[in-house]
Structure 1
Amino acid sequence: MSAQAAIAEKTTFINGLNVQQALDTIAALKADKSLAKFRFRAKNRWVSGGENRSTIRDFYGAGVEDTSRMKPFEFVNGEPPVLLGDNEGANPVEFLLHALAGCVTTTFVLHAMARGIAIRELSTELEGNIDLQGLLGLDGAVFPGYEQIRIKMHVKADCSDEALDDLLAYTQGHSPVCNTVCQPVPVVIERV
């Protein structure tokens, strides 16, 4: 009996995740690898100044267009006054930290569940440094993005520190957003 099957027999949910559903999903993906191909989408419309709004609703996954979302999620991008905005919303580089925190957290929780590790508490703090000279084109030698992002995870779980460290390393290697940031993918910008 595999560790995952033993976990499924022992309990139905770990860390709020349905163990049997996870096992069923893994089995389906092993049987038909095309089901693992997802296409996520976002739309954005500029409002004024540094304000723009993104909507996210539909996506393709598990072999079909998803119809589970009745209305789109809306995210307001803005800038603080020091960056010529009116605090309409978090700015895009802050949303990147939000996306990274969410993905690392979800990946950590998912793989903790798969290992049978119950998490009692989990929170993260993220911080990144950017030199605006790169964004503004004031110095061609300055990178326009984050120079470094630091993530501090505060975790209390029913396992050893060694098991947590192993899970954290595994999480960093398997979080889609973390890997997109750490090993950038090509981005094509075109006018239509």
Structure 2
Amino acid sequence: MIANAQINEPNIVNGVNVDDLFALIEGVRGDASKAATSWRVATTWQGQTRSRAEVEGFAIGGQEVSRRFTIDIDEPCELGGSNQFANPQEHLIAALNACITVGYVAQCAVRGITLQSLEIETEGDIDLRGFLGIDADVANGYESLRYTVRIKGSATKQQFAEIHDAVMATSPNVYNLANAVALKSTLLVE
């Protein structure tokens, strides 16, 4: 007689394998070297104001992981571009929104909260006098970003408020934009 083998289905919440997420958390708790990640993007000029950013991979816990993506970037015609793609500021906002989204999805998943919808809308203002070098007293980028999170799911308002606080406290891109990041450049003239 053959015994019935029990197949353990992964615990999937909001499309996230929660078992794998908890395994990652426990692995990092047990060995801090597994927490190290390294990200890189190479960008090349494509003519006019267009550029192409290429992702070839990243490293996690000392292991290289191959990934192949391209991100095309341009400026609106009004800023000298051809308006073929989103511009760098829109990519910056999109990266912030995407990072916050991942935080909400993961925070909800580990709590067993099912999401029905999630939308993050972010906006900011840039005064071109700074970017164009017209007025040194004007910032050449965003001085603030305003965002609204619309969320619906199986949690209470209090639970979503706690999740919001956790996302804001742990999001890498919230941190990156809210704190000064040291930029270390090397110029190679060929």
Normalization by structure 1: what TM-score?
A: 0.89
Which residue matches 1:59? 58
How far is 1:81 from its partner?
0.7
Higher Rg: 2
Q: Which consecutive unaligned segments of at least 5 residues does structure 1 have?
A: 1-8
Equivalent in 143, 152, 175 of residue 156 of structure 1: 152
Q: Deviations over 1:129-149 (max 9, x none)?
A: 111111111111111111211
Partner Cα distance (1:101, 1:180) in 2:
13
Which residue matches 1:4? none
How far is 1:31 from its partner?
1.2
The 5 A counterparts of 1:106-117 are 106-117=102-113
How far is 1:89 from its partner?
1.0
Q: Give 3-state SS (helix, strand or coil) of 1:152's partner.
A: strand
Partner Cα distance (2:76, 2:127) in 1:
16
Q: Deviations over 1:81-128 (max 9, x none)?
A: 110111121110110011001000001111111222211111111111
Normalization by structure 2: what TM-score?
A: 0.90
Which residue matches 2:174? 178
Which residue matches 1:126? 122
Question: Does 2:99 match 1:103?
Answer: yes
Partner Cα distance (1:175, 1:109) in 2:
12
Partner Cα distance (2:23, 2:162) in 1:
25
Which residue matches 2:19? 20
Partner Cα distance (2:64, 2:28) in 1:
17
Q: Percent identity?
A: 30
Q: Give 3-state SS (helix, strand or coil) of 1:156's partner.
A: strand
* Count of aligned pairs: 181
Partner Cα distance (2:169, 2:19) in 1:
24
Hey, which bits of structure 1, 4+ residues long, moved more than 2 A?
none
Partner Cα distance (1:20, 1:75) in 2:
31
Partner Cα distance (1:26, 1:148) in 2:
32
Which residue matches 2:183? 187
How far is 1:39 from its partner?
0.4
How far is 1:158 from its partner?
0.8
How far is 1:184 from its partner?
2.2
Q: Which consecutive unaligned segments of at least 5 residues does structure 2 have?
A: 1-7
Kindly report the root-mean-square deviation, in angstroms, between the aligned alpha carbons of the 2 structures.
Answer: 1.6
The 5 A counterparts of 1:138-153 are 138-153=134-149
How far is 1:163 from its partner?
1.2
How far is 1:20 from its partner?
1.0
